[in-house]
């Protein structure tokens, strides 16, 4: 093989490798970036679930507008973390158990359960009674996944 042919073959192999890696990593330059992205989304959800929980527990006065704002944040952000459990990110230290990466179909089902509950949270935030029951259902959806796939 000529030197040029070797270079062409090498370039083709590199391009194929990059393309096959592209779908999973397209939005994240490094696995660490993906971990930071998903952790950031869980931080935001936890913060706003905490605000709603405080109203439900009577630690803060119920405020329908504030509750609806938090519910909308939770509902939007609950759609985000899933794409960031990219292959390779299981090697980065995080709260995610290795089992999470071995069970993508189950994780997808649990994420869809959460997304269903957070959609209902927006409608429920208008009154304290409906908020109370839907914060419970939403928290249960968070917990279902944590119990299986999150390190204590």
Contact positions toward ligand ASC, by CB under 6 A? 46, 49-50, 53, 139, 142-143
Residue with tokens 């936890």: 46
Q: Which is nearer to ligand ASC, 27 or 46 (CB)?
A: 46
Minimum separation from the CB atom of position 53 to ligand ASC (A): 6
Q: Which is nearer to ligand ASC, 31 or 77 (CB)?
A: 77
Minimum separation from the CB atom of position 99 to ligand ASC (A): 18
Q: Which is nearer to ligand ASC, 88 or 139 (CB)?
A: 139
Q: Which is nearer to ligand ASC, 31 or 45 (CB)?
A: 45
**Burial (CB count <10 Å: 0-12, 13-18, 19+), residue 130:** middle
Minimum separation from the CB atom of position 146 to ligand ASC (A): 6
- Residue 78 to residue 12: CA distance in whole angstroms: 39
Minimum separation from the CB atom of position 23 to ligand ASC (A): 29
- Residue 4's φ and ψ, nearest 5 degrees, are -65, -40
Minimum separation from the CB atom of position 64 to ligand ASC (A): 20
Q: Which is nearer to ligand ASC, 28 or 85 (CB)?
A: 85
H helices of 1-152, where?
3-25, 31-56, 64-77, 98-102, 104-124, 128-149
- Residue 6 to residue 17: CA distance in whole angstroms: 16
- Please answer whether residues 34 and 80 qualify as being in contact, where contact means their C-beta atoms are separated by less than 8 angstroms: no
């Amino acid at each position: 093989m000529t030197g040029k042919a070797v270079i062409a073959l090498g370039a083709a192999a590199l391009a194929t490798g990059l393309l096959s890696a592209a779908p999973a990593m397209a939005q994240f330059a490094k696995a660490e970036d993906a971990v930071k992205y998903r952790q950031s989304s869980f931080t935001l959800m936890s913060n706003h679930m905490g605000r709603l929980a405080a109203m439900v527990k009577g630690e803060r006065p119920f405020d329908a507008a504030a509750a609806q704002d938090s519910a909308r944040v939770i509902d939007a952000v609950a759609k985000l973390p899933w794409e960031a459990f990219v292959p390779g990110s299981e090697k980065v230290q995080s709260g995610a158990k290795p089992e999470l990466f071995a069970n993508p179909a189950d994780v997808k089902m649990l994420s869809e359960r959460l997304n269903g509950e957070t959609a209902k949270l927006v409608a429920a935030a208008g009154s304290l009674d409906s908020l109370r029951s839907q914060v419970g259902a939403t928290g249960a959806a968070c917990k279902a996944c944590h119990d299986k796939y999150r390190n204590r």
